[in-house]
Amino acid sequence: MTQAASTNKPFLRALAGETMTPPPFWLMRQAGRYLPEYRATRAAAGSFLDLCYNPELACEVTLQPLRRYQMDAAILFSDILVIPDALGRSVAFKQGEGPVLDPLSGAADVEALLVSNVRSHLKPVLETVSRIKASLPEKTALIGFCGAPWTVATYMIEGGSSKDYAKTKEWAYGRPAVFQALIDILVEASSDYLIAQIDAGAEAVQIFDSWAGVLPEEEFRRWVMAPIKAMVERVKAVHPTVPVIGFPRGAGLLYEDFAREVGCDAVSLDTTVPLDWAARVIQPLVTVQGNLDPIHLVSGGEAMDRAIDRILNTLGRGPFVFNLGHGITPAAPPEHVARLAERIRAFR
């Protein structure tokens, strides 16, 4: 139990194990391309990384969805790939292509990664955290975040997004010592980054393992669970009362072991997780967060209403934070998000 139980912030109370009615909510990628004001700010910023490293503009886009929908938490506007950027690897975001990185080629590239540069390189992001914290309403919490080592490693080895993660798996299966060295560096750098975000004002942190579900069980335990557990231990050693949310997207049945063994205060569920199973198996262990299909926010209508109500009625009777099963998509009409917020707040 964290000291968040004594706060007046519903989000932190839910993470501390309280059942809140209505439940608090926020949305992954809630500051993003579905909002016209975001698109205008993004156009003024230059590149995507320029936006991430501009404290004034990054604070502005973080606050934009709160002005419209009064979410219970703000999440720092940044990206999981600021870590490889801070470690000295080339990172760019190309229109229509997504992230493009200079891929790691072997042990020499891993040994050249500059862990000592992380805090100084990410100083603008930490300034953004402080600015957001100073600008939030009294009952709104601030979430910091980073990518999990496995997911960040896939981008660093593949050189961007991947359909099969073949290069990364080849490292993990065929060159485990070199891959472990990379994972260890990412554990250290990412943990320090989360600690720095908390130092700057973040009140909870989320670890995004977006590609966790592509691994078989044994490798999932080694490359997803063990690194995140190590990160949680590092963060809790410095900030023992700050809640940590884990998001091992695609974990399936392994969500249970993740919830039992990794040490997170909450687990975010992807869209595929059965609600009744989550309520019966996961919710007694940790606070759960999730898990509306983001495409429901695109289609809207009665189907969206039914899906929202089913999640609320199944998970809303225990420790719960309403969210999506993955990030909101650019095609989501803002009025559908307003409908979602209205429906959550009406829940009793």
Catalytically annotated residues:
29, 33, 42, 79, 155
Listed in sequence order, the DSSP H helices in the chain are 10-15, 36-45, 48-52, 55-69, 82-86, 107-111, 118-121, 123-135, 149-158, 166-174, 176-200, 217-220, 226-238, 254-261, 275-277, 294-299, 301-315, 334-345
CB atoms within 10 A of CB 261: 14
Q: Do 10 and 20 touch, CB atoms closer than 8 A?
A: yes
- 36-45 and 55-69 are packed helices; what angle lies between their axes, rounded to 10 degrees? 180
Listed in sequence order, the DSSP H helices in 136-175 are 149-158, 166-174
Q: Which amino acid is at 15?
A: L
Is beta strand 204-209 parallel, antiparallel or unpaired with respect to 73-75? unpaired
Q: Do 235 and 194 touch, CB atoms closer than 8 A?
A: yes
- Rounded-to-integer distance, Cα 164 and Cα 214, Å: 8
> Which has the closest alpha carbon to 294: 269, 326, 330, 268?
326
User: The tokens 């063994």 sit on which residue?
Assistant: 261
User: The tokens 């100084």 sit on which residue?
Assistant: 120
Listed in sequence order, the DSSP H helices in 224-333 are 226-238, 254-261, 275-277, 294-299, 301-315
Number of H helices, E strands in the chain: 18, 9
Query: How much helix, strand and coil, in percent to the nearest 5, is found in the chain?
Result: 55, 15, 35
Q: What DSSP state is assigned to residue 32?
A: S
Adjacent-strand bridge partners of 244:
205
Q: Do 239 and 191 touch, CB atoms closer than 8 A?
A: no
